[in-house]
Amino acid sequence: MIRKYVYGWPFETEAVTEQIPEAKGIPAYGHVDVEQGFCFTCRLEADDVVYGLGEANRGINKRGNLYVSNCTDCTEHTEELRSLYGAHNFLVVSGQESFGLFVDYPAKLSFDVGYTRTDTLRIFCDRADLYLYVIDGESAYDIVRQFRGIIGRSYIPPRFAFGFGQSRWGYRTADDLRRVADGYRENHIPLDMLYMDIDYMRDYKDFTLNEEAFPDFPEFVREMKERGIRLVPIIDAGVKVEEGYPVYEEGRERRLFCQNEDGSDFTAAAWPGAVHFPDVLNPGARQWFGDQYRFLIDQGIEGFWNDMNEPSIFYTKERLEKFRARMREYVDGAADSMTVFEIGDAVGVLSGNLREDEAVYHQVGEERVRHDRVHNLYGYNMTRAAAEGLARIDPNRRFLLFSRSSYIGMHRFSGIWTGGNRSWWSHLLLNLKMMPSLNMCGFLYAGADLGGFGADTTQDLLLRWLAFGLFMPLMRNHSSLGTRVQECYQFEDTDAFRHVIGVRYRLIPYLYSEYMKAALGNEMYVKPLAFVYPQDKLARETEDQLMLGDEIMIAPVYTQNASGRYVYLPEEMKFVRFLRNGAISEKILGAGHHYVEIALDEVPMFIRRGRCVPVAEPAECVEEIDTSHLRLLGYAGAEHLLYEDDGISLDYEKTGSWRRLRVEGAE
Ligand code: MIG
């Protein structure tokens, strides 16, 4: 049962697609106060668990901290951060009584989940202009399913997007990319995608190519595709201010950029230098920006990643002026007129989100809306612009598309990647904890930068991270300029990488099928253990294992120098290890705790009692997977329904089919 409460004059975010009548009266479960802004308060019982908030820091259970929905470029990505790149205002309180809350409010919103008072949940923001959805149901999972039912079907990527992708900031030329392709193909490490970061553009201008670095780009795209590799370019939010650059000229003439109070185009600095931001909240601007993607589609491109769309800025002219004045004071005055910390702070505030006093405006219909009122919708609408553009260009084709910043609603248009993490073991675990929360909010096609974006990775971290990441829909190795090289063939034990990534390809028929079941049925692809075993106290407290699809549990090793880990089994399961020599070991383990040995070059998974999982032979790209010869792992007598379709069109109903597979032998 879903009730929708209306406060003040909410902005239409289009997060919810179903028509729900306004509920009368006051919401159950909590108390709403609209005296000063908006505040929802409710009691948390001692053993209530709070799930949700999508791309947020910390645990699967969100209790015990403060989270702020305020899309932020956060390259630091440390444990104390309250805001990350996305804003996903849905949570479920699960206990004796369970209910879900979705606060459809696109400005800054805070969730005090037992932070100030352990027994109290408080959700608050500055203005009481919002929709509050209160959902009750039989269980946490039931509530999630109802929520997913009102926000529309999740984005479905093409099948090739389930392959493995290699990315790095710093590939400059076609030859750089060729070398990476060679590195993979020569070492027979599977690969389906190569990502192109900002260096492919001419002076960081969107929808341009550096032609010296990429002579005859369409031919290069073809050459790569023949080798089973798709190129996936990045698009940044900011459009370079440069006379004669058509995207800039047209956007300016047609008044399609975000504006200052006085109607002039808002300018900030980003990679290209001075930029304007397409006003993607304005449907006309959205259409125009989406149409620009054609430049690359026409050259054979089938996928994109959208970046810098919080939006992220390096500085504005005003900020820089203030900073210069401050520094002049420092240089001219006595050196001790400013502490070193003050100097650091002065540099720090140059970049980051737009501030209220910087009054940037969007044109939404007849209304001019100040940016801070709708801040969390920018990345969502930039990506929606792209998705709608792609749909106009090629209506029955699926494109690969994911974004850095997001809001609920964007899940219908694209996936997300979780932005600039680090080569830290703790970020491997964070990646695991975020995934089910993202799924709750509809973001099924998601993943982190495997191996870590910032800082120098190590062979063992990358191997362990891949052994987890190979279960996630978006599987991509990405790293920052200036860090240790991170392509799999750069390490000592390339055989181990070939094997671990090979396991991904063996599982793609199954993972793709589970993804499609989740997307078509508004289910979660990965879940916390407690969603499957709600009565099990230890399952509720498990923060380092996940259930995937209807068949498996995954439990990666996420500590260095460990030869295995403790794992908790809520019921008997089959412990499966993909061994380096291609063999697969299966062993039944009873319910309870076990220490399981897992070598660095092995991939572990657990098959639930009475279930089975199909595996293919390894392949070097998705197209080469032989789905006619599948082997079943798991319990004798078990059956599995495998979904298959053409992997590229939107005709799920027409081309989708279900294959019944059965493990021989009696149970
Ligand atoms: O200011 O395009 O998170 O994946 O490599 C950094 C360069 C801009 C941030 C993204 C990262 C990407 C990088 N970008």
Q: Which residues have CB under 8 Å from 336's CB, separation 6+?
A: none
CB 432 within 8 A of CB 464: no
The model's pLDDT over 331-370, given as tens digits with 9 standing for 90+, comes to 887 667 788 888 888 888 899 999 888 899 999 999 999 9
The model's pLDDT over 436-458, given as tens digits with 9 standing for 90+, comes to 999 999 999 999 999 999 999 99
- Is residue 330 very low, low, confident or very high in pLDDT (cuts 50, 70, 90)? confident
**Mean pLDDT estimate for the chain:** 96
Q: What element of type H or E holds 436?
A: helix 425-440
Is pLDDT above 80 for 390? Answer: yes
The model's pLDDT over 515-563, given as tens digits with 9 standing for 90+, comes to 999 999 999 999 999 999 999 999 999 999 999 999 999 999 999 999 9
Could you give the 3-state DSSP secondary structure of residue 259? strand
User: Which residue's C-alpha comes closest to atom 5 of ligand 1?
Assistant: 169
Q: What is the pLDDT of residue 424?
A: 98
- Please state the atom number of ligand 1 nearest to the C-alpha of residue 404: 3
Q: What percent of the chain has pLDDT over 90?
A: 93
- Please state the atom number of ligand 1 nearest to the C-alpha of residue 478: 4
Whether ligand 1 lies within 6 angstroms of the CB of 199 is answered as no
Q: What element of type H or E holds 275?
A: strand 273-276
Q: What is the pLDDT of residue 663?
A: 86
The 3-state secondary structure of 99-128, one letter per residue:
EEEEEECCCCEEEEECCCCCCEEEEEECCC
Site to probe by mutation for ligand 1, drawn from 169, 402, 478 as the one with most ligand atoms within 8 Å of Cβ, is 169
Is pLDDT above 70 for 654? Answer: yes
The model's pLDDT over 270-288, given as tens digits with 9 standing for 90+, comes to 999 999 999 999 999 999 9
Centre of ligand 1 to C-alpha 419, Å, is 8
- What is the C-alpha to C-alpha distance for residues 370 and 279, in angstroms, rounded to an integer? 12
- Please state the atom number of ligand 1 nearest to the C-alpha of residue 453: 4
Centre of ligand 1 to C-alpha 434, Å, is 20
End-to-end CA distance of the chain: 39
Q: What element of type H or E holds 379?
A: helix 378-393
Whether ligand 1 lies within 6 angstroms of the CB of 307 is answered as yes
Whether ligand 1 lies within 6 angstroms of the CB of 29 is answered as no
Centre of ligand 1 to C-alpha 483, Å, is 13
Whether ligand 1 lies within 6 angstroms of the CB of 169 is answered as yes
Give me the mean pLDDT over the 362-383 stretch. 97
Centre of ligand 1 to C-alpha 581, Å, is 37
And the tokens for 81?
């951060």
Whether ligand 1 lies within 6 angstroms of the CB of 618 is answered as no
Site to probe by mutation for ligand 1, drawn from 55, 307, 309, 486 as the one with most ligand atoms within 8 Å of Cβ, is 307
- The length of the chain in residues reads 667
- Please state the atom number of ligand 1 nearest to the C-alpha of residue 167: 5
* CA distances (Å), origin 269, targets 237, 276, 311, 314, 327: 11, 9, 11, 5, 19
Task: Report the b/e string of 409-434 with b at 16+ CB within 10 A.
Answer: bbbbbbbbbbbbbbbbbebbbbbbbb
CA-nearest of 437, 537, 544 to 91 is 437
Centre of ligand 1 to C-alpha 132, Å, is 34
Could you give the 3-state DSSP secondary structure of residue 504? helix
Whether ligand 1 lies within 6 angstroms of the CB of 419 is answered as yes
- Is residue 667 very low, low, confident or very high in pLDDT (cuts 50, 70, 90)? very low
Centre of ligand 1 to C-alpha 546, Å, is 29
Is pLDDT above 90 for 329? Answer: no
Whether ligand 1 lies within 6 angstroms of the CB of 424 is answered as no
CA-nearest of 311, 276, 288, 290 to 384 is 290
Give me the mean pLDDT over the 382-392 stretch. 98
Whether ligand 1 lies within 6 angstroms of the CB of 197 is answered as yes
The model's pLDDT over 549-559, given as tens digits with 9 standing for 90+, comes to 999 999 999 99
Centre of ligand 1 to C-alpha 88, Å, is 22
The helix, strand and coil proportions of the chain, stated in percent and rounded to the nearest 5, come to 30, 25, 45
- Please state the atom number of ligand 1 nearest to the C-alpha of residue 480: 5
Could you give the 3-state DSSP secondary structure of residue 88? coil
Whether ligand 1 lies within 6 angstroms of the CB of 379 is answered as no
Write the burial class of residue 116 (CB in 10 Å: 0-12 exposed, 13-18 middle, 19+ buried). Answer: exposed
- Please state the atom number of ligand 1 nearest to the C-alpha of residue 419: 3
Q: Which residues have CB under 8 Å from 325's CB, separation 6+?
A: none
- Please state the atom number of ligand 1 nearest to the C-alpha of residue 481: 5
Centre of ligand 1 to C-alpha 307, Å, is 7
Please give the angle made by the CA atoms of 312, 316 and 322, to the nearest 5 degrees: 130
- Tokens 């799920």 correspond to 652
- Please state the atom number of ligand 1 nearest to the C-alpha of residue 168: 5
Whether ligand 1 lies within 6 angstroms of the CB of 161 is answered as no
- Give CA 423 to chain center in angstroms: 18
* CA distances (Å), origin 574, targets 210, 607, 630: 52, 5, 19
Could you give the 3-state DSSP secondary structure of residue 412? helix
Q: 107-116, 230-239, 350-359: which has the minimum mean pLDDT?
A: 350-359
| pTM of the model as a whole | 0.97
592: left (phi over 0), alpha (psi -120 to 50) or beta: left
Centre of ligand 1 to C-alpha 174, Å, is 20
CA-nearest of 479, 520, 483 to 650 is 520
CB 235 within 8 A of CB 304: yes
The model's pLDDT over 308-322, given as tens digits with 9 standing for 90+, comes to 999 999 999 899 999
Site to probe by mutation for ligand 1, drawn from 480, 481, 483, 486 as the one with most ligand atoms within 8 Å of Cβ, is 480
CB 247 within 8 A of CB 214: no
Give me the mean pLDDT over the 221-228 stretch. 98
Q: What is the pLDDT of residue 665?
A: 67
User: Which residue's C-alpha comes closest to atom 13 of ligand 1?
Assistant: 169
Give me the mean pLDDT over the 415-432 stretch. 98
Q: Which residues have CB under 8 Å from 573's CB, separation 6+?
A: 553, 588, 589, 606, 607, 608, 609
- Please state the atom number of ligand 1 nearest to the C-alpha of residue 197: 2
Q: How many CB atoms lie within 10 A of CB 36?
A: 10
Q: How many CB atoms lie within 10 A of CB 333?
A: 10
Q: What is the pLDDT of residue 356?
A: 83
CB 607 within 8 A of CB 640: no
Whether ligand 1 lies within 6 angstroms of the CB of 469 is answered as no
Give me the mean pLDDT over the 101-112 stretch. 98
Largest CA-CA distance found in the chain, in angstroms, rounded: 87
Q: What percent of the chain has pLDDT over 70?
A: 99
Site to probe by mutation for ligand 1, drawn from 75, 195, 197 as the one with most ligand atoms within 8 Å of Cβ, is 197
Whether ligand 1 lies within 6 angstroms of the CB of 198 is answered as yes
Give me the mean pLDDT over the 583-598 stretch. 98
Give me the mean pLDDT over the 66-95 stretch. 96
Query: Which residues sit opposite 358 in a β-bridge?
Result: none
